[in-house]
Chain A
Amino acid sequence: MSMHLYGYMPSGKVFDNDRNIKKSHVIRRVLSEEKKYLPLLILSFLLAVSTVTFTLLLPIRIGNAIDMICERDFSSVFYRCLIHCAILALLAGISQYLMNLINNHVVYNSVLHIREAAFLRLQKFPLSYIDSHAGGDLLSRLTSDAEQFADGLLMGFTQLFTGVITIAGTLIFMFSMNVAITLIVVVVTPLSIFVARFISKHTYDMFRVQSAQRGEQTALADEMLSNAKVVKAYGQEEKVLRDFDRINDELQKSSLKALFFSSLTNPSTRFVNNIVYALVACIGAVAVYTESSVLFGSLSVGILTAFLSYANQYMKPFNDITSVITELQNAIACAARVFEVIDDETFENETDAPLEMPVVSGDVELDHIDFSYIKGQDLIRDLNVCVKNGMKVAIVGPTGCGKTTLINLLMRFYDPDAGKILIDQTDIASYTLNDSRRLFGMVLQDTWLFDGTVRENILFGKPDATEEEMIEAAKLSHAHSFIRRLKDGYDTQIGEDGEMLSQGQRQLLCITRLMLNKPPMLILDEATSSIDTRTEIRIQQAFRTLMENKTAFIVAHRLSTIRDADLILVMKGGTIIEQGTHESLMKQNGFYAELYRLA
């Protein structure tokens, strides 16, 4: 799309993110998305319960075995106990594996569908939406945000479930074994949560500073490296490097802070954990030798061992949950960004109860059109044009006069605020969007090709064309000769955005696409600006053949095109100030005549 457009647009708008208000809403939204997986999620939960149960029973059985060792009881009971242990380990392993598989399935499936839904949504946005949002922002919503959402969700399902159940299960088991010691564990452990909270709260700000600086650095590097040639031509490498280093040094400081403080979480919680461990060991040992005291109840060595292993296990989920919560918060923020796209209510204005498209002869009439990109800032006021079937219409005027806007309206990329566009006396708005767009073949200033072969790109508008038709079209547009010389001819991969081709070659391919498609009407926006003049002569001959008996709108800078036009629309400041043929306009001796004489 021509850059003129952006002059009227608040460019690079970023969505508002009022996190606090939206967080619960987003969680609800995510849950509603996962609803269809409810049976699987319940199964996953049950498997988590069984995993935890087996995992918690195992230390008790081992404790029993140890008690038997202490009592030197090596009867068959001892061996049966060991077999129990082995079975418990196997069961825990199997149910954990199954749970992981289910979680994988749920998460990757939902992200698959979310991405698909977001893409579908993207295709239905009005052009105004896409033009006014930064492309990189939409892109990262569909890719990296969706990705991080998946990662967070997977971690959440896998570790949050088991984490919570482990804590609950451990408490139940511990209480059933010894109330007093359990109480001590329960009282001391919140300390670890408190420490983890304290650290994460403080590191959050550090991470924010870090990512802001990282963003700043990436933006600078992006800008300077993509324009490295200009930087070098102006000998500014040292200055640019200095700018880079300034941010780099800041980033070093903030990264060190963030990295160091965040890495304190594990040692700190481990420290609290060790204290709990020491207390359990001490009190447990006392409880064992006092046999049965009022204060500590009774305990065997084996059960003390189980207790110690619980004390270890009991802390681990707290650590996990803290990190899972950070992940989840990130995942929710990402989900919010993806769902903002999916749930957006702005749709392209599709026609209700559309008429069937008849065979069109090609009369086009713009009837009292008003248009503005931004409400209140009128760009086009009361535009009236009448074009008869087969006419060649040249649109001329200074930069920013609204030429591109006219194309936006004809293609129904934007809707007029008032007035109608009539084709063969029928309002274009009564047909479907696709039907009305099929009426026009369009070559824009910025060529667009997709990552595929030359053939795929030419066949873009008419996938069922035969080989002969394709080559015929390429010959007509004079692309055939250069295509033949490419490495694999028509099957050459042209790379992302046609990077393997020159600008002129890209444009030739876009024209070939049109030659093959043979639309009833044409819109050419400076279509030939990058093709050398001699090729252009040939192309224009081909265009003339193509345009025979067809209505064509041409935004052209070339005098030859303008002079041959059946109708010239001279635009200035959004309105058509003069219209007529070259001769009549020259006679009129107005703005057009002035433009022409100056040229």
Chain B
Amino acid sequence: MRDLLKYLKDYKKECVFAPLFKALEAGFELIVPLVIAHMIDDGIPADDGKLIVRCGLLLIVLGFVGFASAVIAQYFAAKAAVGFSTKLRHDLFERSLRFSFSKIDEIGTSTLLTRLTSDVSSVQAGVNMVLRLFLRSPYIVLGATIMAFFIDLKSALIFVVLIVVLFLIVFFLAYSNIGLLEKAQQKLDAVTASVRENLSGTRVIRAFCRQEERRQDFAGKNRELFLAQKKAGVRSALLNPITYVIINLFIVRLVRIGAVQVGNGVLTAGQVIALYNYMSQILIELIKFANLLITVNKALSGGRRISAVLAMQDPDETGLTAGTEKTDTNDEKEAQAPAISFEHVSMKYHETADEVLSDIDFQIKMGETLGIIGGTGAGKSTLAHLIPGFYPVTKGRVLVNGSDVREQDQKELTSLVGIAMQKPVLFSGTIADNLRLGNPGAEEEELLQAVRLSCCEEVLKEHGGLNAEVLQGGKNFSGGQRQRLCIARALVKNPSILILDDSFSALDYVTDRKLREHLRELKDITVIMISQRTVSIQDCDHILVLDDGRMAGFGTHEELLENCNVYRQIYHSQGRDKEGEGGRS
């Protein structure tokens, strides 16, 4: 939490001046009752018109100077708060980009997004309010009390009692209210989740005719929210009336004591009025202060959540890469070494979890193709993600061009590997923007070449060329279209290793086949294809069969058919039995 303070470092001046000028403004306000007392005690009885007008002018001057100090204070406070949040957002976003894949899996996008948006906003509001008000209220409250001491010791003691009583009540109410508000917020989150779920599941819910049950479920959550809000509301409804009553009872007491003191000749009527005015000022400030506590608490909990993210341990954190140009490092050692080699690799996602991959050991040479096949959860994607070093291995080594991926420069490694992920993701922008993601300098010809190789010509035709717009999430493209564009994007990068993670699953057989033919044209590029369909990978130089994280077989299609039971089963289940209809071309 404290670590967030460093974001105010560049705004030291502002952080000092904002409260200082606020204090100044408060100071001017505290003089006002004294001026009024002077008017009443000295001006009125003496029929001194000039004195009264002078006092009036003084009041106006005080008002103006107060206004000027307030403006300065507001400016400094706003500047510090906004500067603070801008830096914080930058660091938070940068940190999020640095997180390793394992960390990203662990935290989740929506959490990061909330930290970046609403949490930062509430922290900004908190900083702003603290600089402006957190010191102003105590100034006024203390200042008024001190002024009271100057006027009359006996009456001032009432101020002390009042402040203690009010602080206790305000703190108790504000504090207990904060807990209730947080509870209400949780209920609101539950209602939001429920609505989201029901929107995304509309078809299934209607197919099973379960609208009524879902409505009742929602109504229950909605009702809980209602009760929580109402409870918080009842509590906060108490704050204003209670402070009002208490302060006025104290005013009555003050006037009574004042009367005695006036009777004893210790006080003048004007001084009693000044004391009364001070007490009224305290009332206004305390109520402001109570509301401020809620804002500050919100900011504090937002701040705690943000600093938890910033302080998160991530041993595999990466640097920022803008890796674009491929470095031509074709020294001898690399040319001879296998392009990819796994040496008894095991991997688990968490220390406590089971191994996702166990003892994987194989090599492939530069320019060869590797097919990976296996069931859901067999570890296919995990294996592919080890090649660009997305996750750390638990045992063994993964080598690319002869050197351990954990020791290679992340930037260089990233530039070597082109990957089309299982979930085909497009970014908003144009098709060309998307294709250039890994290679911003790519010429249009290169783009068109990749488009042709990945069978995207008709996609371009349908959407209107390279400059066609892509909506967020690429939702104006079908699943198959997105898969092909992602392959094209990986190709534009001009990688020496191309990984296609189940990139054919949404393609029909015709396109699937055409694409594979195109890929065969590629020379000097190591291709790794992951698939559930034997037909998609049977032409690969090597096929790796994964079964529950273990290597069930490694060889060519024919070899595996002969000696790998798992592979045979998969093959036959897909209707590729002896008849071999449709066969291999």
Contact = CB atoms under 8 A, between A and B. Distances in A.
Interface in B550-565: none
A558 interface: yes
Given A223-B427, A239-B322, 4 more contacts: A108-B229, A267-B66, A400-B478, A496-B193
Interface in B127-156: 128, 132
A212 interface: no
A286 B573 contact: no
Contact of B255 (A65, A219, A248, A560): A65
Given A139-B199, A285-B40, A227 B427 contact: yes
Contacts of B421: 229-230, 233
A444 B202 CA distance: 12
- 3 interchain residue pairs of minimum CB distance: A532-B375, A274-B63, A599-B509
A533 B574 contact: yes
B176 interface: no
Nearest to A263: B74
Given A72-B263, A122-B199, A595 B237 contact: no
A278 B56 contact: yes
A25 interface: no
B192 A143 contact: yes
A202 interface: no
Given A237-B98, A289-B47, A557-B508, A244 B93 contact: yes
A218 B256 CA distance: 60
B269 A70 contact: yes
Interface stretch (A358-366, A368-376, A384-392, A433-441): A433-441
A279 B52 CA distance: 11
10 contacts: A4-B478, A119-B215, A138-B195, A142-B195, A228-B96, A267-B71, A289-B49, A448-B204, A460-B210, A598-B510
Interface stretch (B2-10, B239-247, B290-298, B397-405): B239-247
A86 interface: yes
Contact of A93 (B112, B194, B245, B510): B245
A240 B229 CA distance: 40
Taking residues whose C-beta sits less than 8 angstroms from the other chain, chain A's interface range is 35 or more
B444 interface: no
Nearest to B218: A119
B324 A222 contact: no
B371 interface: no
Contacts of A502: 376-377
Given A82-B255, A232-B97, A235-B324, A282 B52 contact: yes
A559 B63 CA distance: 86
Nearest to A596: B582
Contact of B244 (A92, A237, A245, A533): A92
Nearest to A87: B252
A279 B63 CA distance: 12
A141 B222 CA distance: 15
A370 to B, nearest CB: 23
Interface in B199-233: 199-211, 213-215, 218-219, 222-223, 225-226, 229-230, 233
A573 to B, nearest CB: 13
A221 B249 CA distance: 54
Given A228-B96, A531-B376, A82 B263 contact: no
A222 B440 CA distance: 22
Contact of B40 (A12, A150, A301): A301
Contacts of A461: 208, 210
Interface string B26-55: 000000100110011001110101001101
B575 A558 contact: yes
Given A233-B390, A268-B67, A281 B204 contact: no
Given A12-B471, A496-B193, A233 B244 contact: no
A536 interface: yes
A115 B222 contact: yes
Contact of B476 (A11, A65, A109, A460): A11
Contacts of A441: 207
A198 interface: no
Contact of A260 (B74, B255, B437, B478): B74
A74 interface: yes
A109 B222 CA distance: 11
A463 B240 CA distance: 50
Nearest to A503: B376
Contact of B535 (A245, A279, A599): A599
B472 A69 contact: no
Interface in A178-235: 214, 217-219, 221-235
B306 interface: no
Contacts of B93: 221, 241, 244, 248
Contacts of A143: 188, 191-192, 195
Interface stretch (B80-88, B165-173, B328-336, B339-347): B80-88
A399 B223 contact: no
A358 B506 CA distance: 39
Of B198, B280, B376, B411, most buried by chain A (CB within 10 Å of CB) is B376
B256 A286 contact: no
A147 B225 CA distance: 11
A347 interface: no
A117 to B, nearest CB: 11
Contacts of B425: 227, 230
A413 B206 contact: yes
Interface in B307-328: 318, 320-324
Nearest to B83: A252
B394 interface: no
Interface in B82-137: 82-83, 85-86, 89-90, 93-94, 96-99, 101, 104, 109, 112-113, 116-117, 124, 128, 132
Nearest to B581: A596
A223 B472 contact: yes
B286 to A, nearest CB: 15
A231 to B, nearest CB: 7
Contacts of A119: 195, 198, 215, 218-219, 222
Nearest to A133: B199
A15 interface: no
A221 B113 contact: yes
A74 B256 CA distance: 9
A399 B203 contact: no
A86 B44 CA distance: 29
Contact of B132 (A256, A263, A450, A563): A263
A85 interface: yes
Given A225-B113, A301-B269, A533-B570, A267 B70 contact: yes
A494 B83 CA distance: 41
Contact of B248 (A79, A89, A214): A89
Contact of A264 (B43, B71, B270): B71
A142 to B, nearest CB: 5
A231 B97 contact: yes
A388 B439 CA distance: 56
Contacts of A68: 259
A351 to B, nearest CB: 14
A175 B429 CA distance: 66
Nearest to A309: B280
B549 interface: no
B183 interface: no
Contacts of A223: 427-428, 472-473
B499 to A, nearest CB: 9
Interface string B256-274: 1011001100000110110
B201 A448 contact: yes
A201 B259 CA distance: 49
B179 to A, nearest CB: 18
B222 A274 contact: no
A504 interface: yes
Contacts of B222: 112, 115-116, 119
A78 interface: yes
A411 B99 CA distance: 44
B468 interface: no
A127 B197 contact: no
B381 to A, nearest CB: 11
A312 B318 CA distance: 60
